[in-house]
Amino acid sequence: MSEFQTDSLRPSSLPTASLGRRQPSTANADKDADAELDKVAEEWNLRIDREMKNLTGGLGELVDLADVRSPFPFA
């Protein structure tokens, strides 16, 4: 006798039914989802690093521009 399985813990927008077909392994799906999340997180980290580098460079330029000195040595 086979063990009873249900997909009740997997919510979906449409009802599903299995007609004797083997359900995909959730362990593989979890590993794939974790890998995809890691990939997306790494992409965001690279984007944030690039944006922060641009911001710090721009702020450095602003500070250099704000350092106004008089061209006259006696002023």
The whole-number average pLDDT for the span 20-27 is: 62
23 within 8 A of 5, measured Cβ to Cβ: yes
Alpha carbon distances (Å) from 31 to 11, 36, 38, 60, 69? 19, 9, 10, 43, 60
Residue spans per domain, the chain: 40-67
* Residue 18 confidence class, pLDDT cut points 50, 70, 90: low
The confidence score (pLDDT) of residue 32 equals 87
Higher-pLDDT residue of 65 and 15 is 65
The confidence score (pLDDT) of residue 74 equals 67
